[in-house]
Each structure stands twice: as C-alpha cells, then as structure tokens.
C-alpha cells in the first residue's frame, strides 16, 4: 500500500532535498493536507458572494443609491475574473503557501478602506481587494486540486472545490447578519474578514506542510494548440450562456419565487434550497465525471437547466416553483463544477490554468450583465417569464455548443 501511494503521489508532490535524517511526510498525509487546504481556502473566499446580506447595511451607512451599492459586488466579480485570468502567471512564479498568504492579506487590507464608511471605500476595499483575493483563492484551489490528485480523480477534486466555494457563500450569508446585528457594519465586517483571513492562513500552513508542487502552469508558447481560436471561442461562448442563466436565477431568486405566489419566508427558503443544491450538485457531478468525462454530462446538465427554467417561467404553483428553482440551482452548480475539467481536457493539463483564465472571462461578463438584463426585462413585462425564457434559451444553445467542442486538444510541441 505504501508503495502504491508513493507511485500515485510521485508526480504532484515534491520534497525538498534535505539530510538523510529528515522525516519525510507520508504521501497520503500530503494529499489530505493539500485537499483540506483547497477546501478551506475556497470556503473562506466564497464569502464574497454573500454580498446581498451586506447590501442594505452599506446603503444605510454610505447613503448611496441601490444601483451604486450594487456596483460594489459587480466590481468584486470583475476582480475575481481578473485574478483567474492572470492566475497562471502567479501559480508558476509563487509557491503555494506564499500565494495563499497574499490571498489572506488582501481582505484585511480592504477592511482599512471599508471602515471609512464611504461608497468609494467599499468599492476598493470589498470590490477590488476582497474580490481579487477571492479570485486568487478560487482559481488557485482549482489548479492545486488538479495538481494534487491523479487524472482519474480530478473530477471529484474539482467538484469538491467548487462546492466548497458555493458553501462559503451560503454559510456567510447567515454569518453576516448575525455579526452585523450584534456589532454593527464596521465591526461586524471586520470580524468576518478576520474569519476569512484566518481560514486562508490555515490553508497556507497546510499547503506548506503538503509541499505541493503547483508551479507547473505553462504559458511559454512551447505548446501550440491547433484550432485553438475556434475551440477556445466555443468554450468561452458556452460558458457565458450557461453562467448567464445560472447567475440570473441566483441574483433574482427571491423575487422570482414571490411572483410564483410564494410568501417572503417561502421565497427565502427557495433561495436556501437553490444554494444548497448548487453546492451538493457540484460534488456529485465531479464523481460522475471521473467515470464519464465532462462533455457528455455538461450537455445533459445544460438541457435539464433549460427545462427547469422553462418550467419555472410558467409555474404558478408555489411548491412546484420550489422544485424548479432548486433544480435550476443544482444544474448551475454542476455546470460550473464540471467546466474547469472540460477546459483542462481540451487544453491539456499544463495549459489548463492559462486556458481556463481566458474562458473564465465569460463568467465575469455574465455576472455583470445577467442582473441588469433580468431587471430590465422584468420592468418591461411586469413578470419574470421573459428573463427565464431567455435564460432557458441560452442554456439550450450552450448545450449545443458544448456538444461541438472537441473532447481533447490537438497539441504539437514546437
């Protein structure tokens, strides 16, 4: 068994050369430390997406209008996108523990600005600093998880990391109101930032003990991906459409449920069901992808999402609406969990961070456009049928686009 673990972990883990008296960490313990570090990091950084719990308190403190406060979160989404986009360079140049220490420091630096109680302070402190830290944590955890496990276990590892990111948003959406209600916005958010940075520091320590070699991202040009422009564009386009559909439902879940006849408390229950489905589905489909790959399941997921969104658009029965919105949330969680694996399969392991950084810009664009488009269509029609049917149509086209993507990159060494 020991020999088997040594062979499995020989590729991802590297132990520094020391004296013969040094005790070497057991490979299974290394693997455990690395995966736990990834999960802690993404759970902490997922707190960025619990912003809706901060929206009203920030409005009251800063005196800014709703649209202006909403820009804080939009800035955060753009910062996440920027961090993932340029992440492949950071992964190659910085050791895992040092990179995570940077992610731990940024939220605390942002608190200095948010404590000023100004709209600009929240834009920079939360949107830029915390947003960039969240992008570092999410993108690097995906990269580190793929480095830590053998190829036939990457689906489960990536699914678990994505699920932990969603669980972080879910958990902090309950923690924020408790802290703010007890200590006020400034002190409450400071404590929450301490929790985020503290979890990231623990993750940095675990990465240090795991001695995980993550400096393997390749953007040097030694590998040329044939037909990369067409394939990368299809991957980008499908991700944009699938993410638009999911993010629109996440952002408007409560009013969507209310227009289906649910009370406010029932609508909040629907949001909880959606969030939990989002997290659990990511883990489950990761295990499935290790057996079936990513492309086929993603096509099915996008088709089921289109059906759920269409059903939600015409549903007038509260309990049925609850089922549809839970299913839509689960499909979005499954979609974003499998997509990094699809990109890695297409590009090759050593180009995955580079390729996913570019594809992930589609998520950023979807994040900043889905909410206002849904709001505009609601104001235009007086209900959510048009936005939901638009989202369903985009999911359907995403399924067709993913089906056209070649399952593996054609690469040549030059």
290 Cβ partners below 8 Å, 6+ apart?
Answer: 152, 153, 154, 155, 156
89's tokens: 């360079």
Cβ atoms of 18 and 211 within 8 Å: the answer is: no
- CA distance readout (Å), 334 to 113, 279, 340, 387: 36, 8, 11, 21
- CA distance readout (Å), 179 to 42, 57, 183, 268, 276: 21, 12, 6, 19, 22
Q: What is the pLDDT along the chain (414 residues), one digit of tens a residue?
A: 343 334 334 444 433 333 333 334 456 777 888 889 999 999 999 999 888 778 888 888 988 886 788 788 888 889 999 998 888 888 888 888 899 999 999 999 999 999 998 999 999 999 999 999 999 999 999 888 877 777 667 777 787 888 888 888 888 878 888 999 999 999 999 999 999 999 999 999 999 988 877 766 555 444 444 445 577 888 999 999 999 888 888 777 767 777 776 666 666 666 677 777 777 777 777 667 667 777 888 999 999 999 999 998 888 787 888 888 888 888 988 898 888 888 888 877 677 778 888 898 998 888 888 878 888 888 888 888 998 999 999 999 999 999 887 654 444 333
Count Cβ atoms below 10 Å from residue 239 Cβ, excluding itself. 27
Give residue for tokens 């549903």.
Answer: 315
Distance CA 389, CA 323 (A): 17
The pTM score is 0.77
Structural domains of the chain, with CATH: 28-210 (1.20.1250.20), 226-407 (1.20.1250.20)
DSSP 200-211: HHHHHHHHHHHT
Run of H or E including 410: strand 410-413
């Amino acid at each position: 068994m020991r020999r088997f673990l040594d062979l499995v972990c020989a590729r991802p883990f590297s132990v520094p050369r020391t004296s013969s008296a040094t005790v070497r960490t057991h490979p299974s313990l290394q693997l455990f430390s690395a995966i736990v570090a990834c999960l802690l990091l993404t759970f902490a950084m997922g707190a960025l997406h619990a912003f809706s719990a901060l929206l009203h308190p920030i409005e009251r403190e800063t005196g800014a209008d709703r649209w202006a406060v909403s820009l804080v979160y939009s800035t955060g989404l753009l910062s996440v996108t920027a961090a993932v986009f340029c992440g492949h360079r950071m992964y190659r140049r910085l050791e895992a523990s040092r990179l995570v220490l940077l992610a731990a420091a940024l939220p605390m630096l942002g608190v200095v600005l948010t404590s000023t109680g100004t709209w600009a302070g929240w834009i920079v402190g939360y949107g830029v600093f915390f947003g960039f830290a969240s992008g570092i944590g999410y993108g690097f955890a995906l990269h580190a998880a793929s480095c830590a496990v053998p190829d036939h276990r990457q689906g489960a590892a990536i699914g678990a990391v994505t699920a932990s990111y969603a669980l972080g948003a879910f958990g902090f959406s309950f923690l924020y109101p408790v802290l703010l209600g007890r200590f006020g916005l400034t002190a409450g958010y400071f404590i929450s930032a301490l929790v985020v940075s503290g979890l990231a520091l623990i993750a940095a320590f675990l990465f240090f003990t795991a001695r995980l070699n993550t400096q393997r991202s390749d953007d040097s040009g030694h590998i040329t991906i044939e037909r990369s422009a067409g394939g990368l564009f299809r991957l980008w386009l499908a991700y944009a459409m699938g993410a638009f559909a999911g993010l629109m439902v996440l952002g408007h879940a409560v009013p969507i449920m209310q227009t289906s006849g649910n009370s406010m408390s029932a609508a909040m229950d629907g949001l909880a069901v959606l969030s939990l489905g989002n997290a659990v589905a990511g883990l489950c489909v990761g295990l499935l992808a290790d057996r079936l790959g990513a492309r086929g399941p993603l096509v099915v997921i996008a088709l089921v999402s289109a059906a759920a969104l269409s059903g939600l658009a015409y549903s007038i029965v509260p309990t049925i609406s609850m089922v549809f919105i839970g299913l839509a949330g689960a499909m979005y969680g499954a979609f974003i969990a499998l997509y990094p694996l699809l990109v890695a399969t297409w590009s090759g392991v050593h180009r995955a961070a580079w390729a996913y950084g570019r594809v992930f810009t589609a998520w950023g664009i979807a994040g900043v456009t889905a909410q206002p488009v849904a709001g505009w269509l609601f104001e235009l029609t007086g209900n959510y049928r048009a936005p939901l049917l638009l989202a369903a149509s985009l999911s359907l086209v995403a399924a067709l686009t993913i089906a056209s993507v070649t399952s593996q990159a054609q690469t040549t060494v030059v």
